[in-house]
Amino acid sequence: MAIDPKLLEDLENRRQKAREAGGLDKLAKRKEKGMLAARERLETLFDPGTFQEFGMHAQHGCSAFGMETKQLPYDGVVCGTGFVEGRAVAAYSQDFTVSGGSLGRIHARKICQLMDYAHDVGIPVVAVNDSGGARIQEGVDSLSGYGKVFFKNVFLSGVVPQIAIIAGPCAGGAAYSPALMDFLIMTEKNANMFICGPGVIKAATGENAELAQFASAAAHATVSGNIHLVASDDTHAMALASRLLSYLPANNVADPPHDLDQPINTTPDLGMNELVPDNPKAPLDVQLVIDRLVDPDSFMEIMPDFAKNLVVGFARICGVVVGIVANQPAVRAGTLDIDSSDKGARFIRTCNIFNIPIVNLVDTPGFMPGLAQERGGIIRHGAKMLFAYAAATVPKITLIMRKAYGGAYLAMCSADLGADLVLAWPTAEIAVMGAEGATRILFGKEIEASEDPAALTAQLIEQYRDEFASPYQAAARAMITDVITPAGSRTRIALALRATLSKRDTRPPKKHGNIPL
Amino acid sequence: MKHLRITVDGKSYDVQVELLGEESTAVQPLIGTPVRAASVAAPAAAPAPTAPVATPSGDGGALLSPLSAVVVSVEVAVGQTVTAGQPVLTLEAMKMNTVVSATQAGTVKSIAVKAGDAVDEGQELLVIA
């Protein structure tokens, strides 16, 4: 009394049909362009043999404009779960070979069901976007579908990690689903993301704009700041998503995947001393500091091509997953400005959501002066950094390397903003402003009246620097936990990270704080 | 008691007015009616984009200043050959030196600035071709 073989054959035929996607000819064309099929993308992301499909047999329910005779396999989106490096992940992949990957009612419903599942079981979502947009034949059902997906994106925000991969067109309203997620990865070629295309821009404003200028991965990575990482191709995009997931917990009530079996290395790193220039004006490349501080090859920089004056990214320090927020003195003097504040604040909040301790490396002369900055709302944008740090309840460890002036000192997570531990190198200059400016304000009249103003100025600057621009003024006021050597930094931070993993910080109940946006 | 003179159609009346009590009069609340902000002219020149796509340092080998700064030193001379990544110029802003490096190998065609010059963000520093 075995199962009727015809039933098995029928099922296999249906599965085969689905594997053919929108047609073998279309799949072949994509292959020529170096693009993976929608299904292959998920199979590349997941560990071999772990992909379990959701909704392979779904069909559109549209009967207008001749759609009633059309078959759209799985309604143009491959959904399911699988394992990434042994950890469960939900993912969907829009299939451009099926009706241009257009989003209809059932297509959207499948995405929403998958996101509900991810929410209920507490696993990350990876979304591969490759769609021509709304399915026009389905009219407002399609529009409503987008709305439902956006709602789910927001519902899941702060609960499970959401990673969007832009691997094809992602235009109009469709661009807002990735924008609502935690990370956006975009392929260098074959992908575009925009609200209004060149045709619409031309018709509406007369402006000539090419896709490469505003919709490409390069444009979004360097100018708009809309995306986090650029991938060279589909396979690379999946590898980036996989690496990103290796730092993230499955959900907001889980710990990130720390490797606490790793011993803490207490050997001083003398090379770190060598990195610190003797001239306070000589730029210190903070990338080199990060490389020495974190476990070898463990640093994954986020938004590496946007607002380079602030470096952010994930790493491990003696096995503990951390988020690094570091001023980069080699770019724009390491100042905080509008773009770097936006970048930093978003990253800090991402770490906080996912219980990732934050390590701050400070060397900033202040907020960037300038008309464009002030008019652009640096007050509003810079406030995001203050808000994000003060609101973050994860362990916060601050290392003041050199300059920490004025408001930017606070905006890089001083003790007052809730740092659990503030360490400083002997080269740290913590002051309300730089020595030159302070000397001019404090001793302007004396300098003017002196016989040799230049000599007196130099002397007073030196005096000010000795007295105020050192870590010891702040240390004397117990604003610094300890002054440490660069060589000892790695050990001190590693020990502090282990010690603060048990941190708990509860705030008054509220809907949410009102971060300036 | 107040003495007032009121003139109606050219005819004057002298009247005496007695205040019987300081009664409060209705007050028009000002709260909730914000003052309209005067418009502020836009800056004459739009700020330069911080990172033009694909050409981070200007077109045709021109190196542009990454920020408003003072030129500390110029490390190269016209006619000198440079390699990509070679430091060519040092700027100072915000108490910090910013090193400008060649983005391509070539020959220094022209140098637009000298030590001590103040430069704006986006201003041409030198050309390498």
Q: What is the pLDDT of residues A468-488, one digit of tens each?
A: 778 998 899 999 999 999 999
Q: Is residue A231 part of a domain?
A: yes
Residues A86-115 have pLDDT tens digits of 999 999 999 999 999 999 999 999 999 999
Mean pLDDT of A279-283: 90
Same domain? For A215 and A289 the reply is no
A341 CA: distance to closest CA in chain B (Å): 15
* Residue of B92, B95, B98 to mutate, interface with A, max A Cβ within 10 Å: B95
Rounded CA separation B108/A515 (Å): 48
Same domain? For A65 and A189 the reply is yes
Q: Cβ contact (<8 Å) for A332 and B54?
A: no
Residue of A nearest to B47 (CA): A372
**CB nearest to B98's CB, from A283, A434, A436:** A283
Given CA atoms A334, A335, A339, A340 in this order, what sign does their dihedral have?
A: positive
* Token reading at A379: 């007050």
Q: Is residue A193 part of a domain?
A: yes
Please give the pLDDT value at position B44: 56
B51 CA: distance to closest CA in chain A (Å): 6
Q: Is residue A371 part of a domain?
A: yes
Same domain? For A365 and A413 the reply is yes
Please give the pLDDT value at position A121: 98
Residue B112 touches chain A, beta carbons under 8 Å: no
Please give the pLDDT value at position B50: 40
Active site residues of A: 172-173, 407-408
> Domain boundary residue among A245, A260, A295?
A245
Same domain? For A75 and A149 the reply is yes
Interaxial angle between packed helices A338-353 and A378-391, expressed in degrees from 0 to 180 and rounded to the nearest 10: 20
Question: Over 60: is that where the pLDDT of A69 sits?
Answer: yes
Same domain? For A160 and A222 the reply is yes
**Percent of chain A predicted with pLDDT > 70:** 100
Rounded CA separation A364/A153 (Å): 36
Where is average pLDDT lowest: A42-46, A156-160, A348-352, A468-472?
A: A468-472
Closest CA to A129 of A220, A15, A257: A220
**CB nearest to B53's CB, from A213, A282, A307:** A213
Same domain? For A345 and A483 the reply is yes
Q: Cβ contact (<8 Å) for A283 and B97?
A: yes
Residue A434 touches chain B, beta carbons under 8 Å: yes
Q: Cβ contact (<8 Å) for A366 and B54?
A: no
Mean pLDDT of A139-158: 96
B110 CA: distance to closest CA in chain A (Å): 24
Would you call A406 helix, strand, or coil by DSSP? helix
Q: Is residue A411 part of a domain?
A: yes
* Residue of A214, A227, A281, A409 to mutate, interface with B, max B Cβ within 10 Å: A281
Q: Cβ contact (<8 Å) for A281 and B96?
A: yes
Question: Over 60: is that where the pLDDT of A410 sits?
Answer: yes
A265 CA: distance to closest CA in chain B (Å): 33
**CB nearest to B66's CB, from A219, A332, A403:** A332
Mean pLDDT of B87-105: 92
Q: Cβ contact (<8 Å) for B53 and A436?
A: no
Q: Is residue A442 part of a domain?
A: no
A209 CA: distance to closest CA in chain B (Å): 13
Q: Is the distance from CB of A230 to CB of A218 less than 8 angstroms? A: yes
Residues B14-73 have pLDDT tens digits of 888 777 766 666 666 666 667 777 777 765 554 444 444 543 444 568 999 999 999 999
Rounded CA separation A315/A308 (Å): 18
Which secondary-structure segment (H or E) carries A80?
strand A77-84
Mean pLDDT of A30-43: 95
Question: Over 80: is that where the pLDDT of A368 sits?
Answer: yes
Residues A152-199 have pLDDT tens digits of 999 999 999 999 999 999 998 899 999 999 999 999 999 999 999 999
The more confident residue out of A448 and A154 is A154
Same domain? For A236 and A290 the reply is no
**CB nearest to A333's CB, from B51, B54, B96:** B96
Please give the pLDDT value at position B120: 92
* Token reading at B81: 């050959």
Question: Over 50: is that where the pLDDT of A443 sits?
Answer: yes
Average pLDDT score, chain A: 94
Same domain? For A277 and A241 the reply is no
Closest CA to A293 of A206, A138, A364, A399: A399
A window 220-249, beta carbon within 8 A of B: 222-223
Same domain? For A219 and A303 the reply is no
Name residue A492's amino acid: R
Q: Cβ contact (<8 Å) for B43 and A335?
A: no
Same domain? For A80 and A192 the reply is yes
Sole residue written with tokens 């064309």: A29
From first CA to last CA, the distance across chain A in angstroms is 66
Same domain? For A93 and A175 the reply is yes
Please give the pLDDT value at position B15: 84
**Domain carrying residue A354:** 270-434+469-500
The more confident residue out of A496 and A464 is A496
Same domain? For A232 and A365 the reply is no
Question: Over 80: is that where the pLDDT of A1 sits?
Answer: no
From first CA to last CA, the distance across chain B in angstroms is 93
Residues B107-129 have pLDDT tens digits of 999 999 999 999 999 999 999 98
Question: Over 70: is that where the pLDDT of A347 sits?
Answer: yes
Please give the pLDDT value at position B39: 75
Question: Over 70: is that where the pLDDT of A454 sits?
Answer: yes
Q: Cβ contact (<8 Å) for A335 and B47?
A: no
Please give the pLDDT value at position A65: 83
Q: Cβ contact (<8 Å) for A222 and B56?
A: yes
**CB nearest to A281's CB, from B47, B92, B121:** B92
Which secondary-structure segment (H or E) carries A352?
helix A338-353
CATH of residue A482: 3.90.226.10
Residue of B nearest to A437 (CA): B95
What torsion do the CA atoms of A177, A180, A185, A190 make, to the nearest 10 degrees?
30
> Domain boundary residue among A192, A212, A245?
A245
Give B82's pLDDT tier (boundaries 50, 70, 90).
very high
Sole residue written with tokens 């979304």: A127
Q: Is residue A12 part of a domain?
A: no
Residue A211 touches chain B, beta carbons under 8 Å: no
Burial (CB < 10 A; 0-12, 13-18, 19+), residue B102, is buried
**Which of A447-456, A463-472, B71-80 tops mean pLDDT?**
B71-80
**Percent of chain B predicted with pLDDT > 70:** 72
Rounded CA separation A509/A458 (Å): 53
Q: What is the CATH number of domain B62-128?
A: 2.40.50.100
Please give the pLDDT value at position B60: 66
B window 5-64, beta carbon within 8 A of A: 43, 47, 49-54, 56
Please give the pLDDT value at position B58: 47
Where is average pLDDT lowest: A276-290, A359-373, B43-57, B76-90?
A: B43-57
Burial (CB < 10 A; 0-12, 13-18, 19+), residue B125, is buried
**How many domains are contained in chain A?**
2
Please give the pLDDT value at position A232: 93
Complex ipTM tops 0.85 = no
Question: Over 60: is that where the pLDDT of A464 sits?
Answer: yes
Q: Cβ contact (<8 Å) for A339 and B67?
A: no
Q: Is residue A160 part of a domain?
A: yes
Q: Is residue A356 part of a domain?
A: yes
Please give the pLDDT value at position A260: 95
Q: What is the DSSP letter of A422?
A: E
* Token reading at A421: 């531990």
Residue of B nearest to A429 (CA): B95
Q: Cβ contact (<8 Å) for B53 and A403?
A: no
Neighbours of A210 (CB within 10 A): 10
Question: Over 90: is that where the pLDDT of A442 sits?
Answer: no
A375 CA: distance to closest CA in chain B (Å): 9
Given CA atoms A467, A469, A470, A471 in this order, what sign does their dihedral have?
A: positive
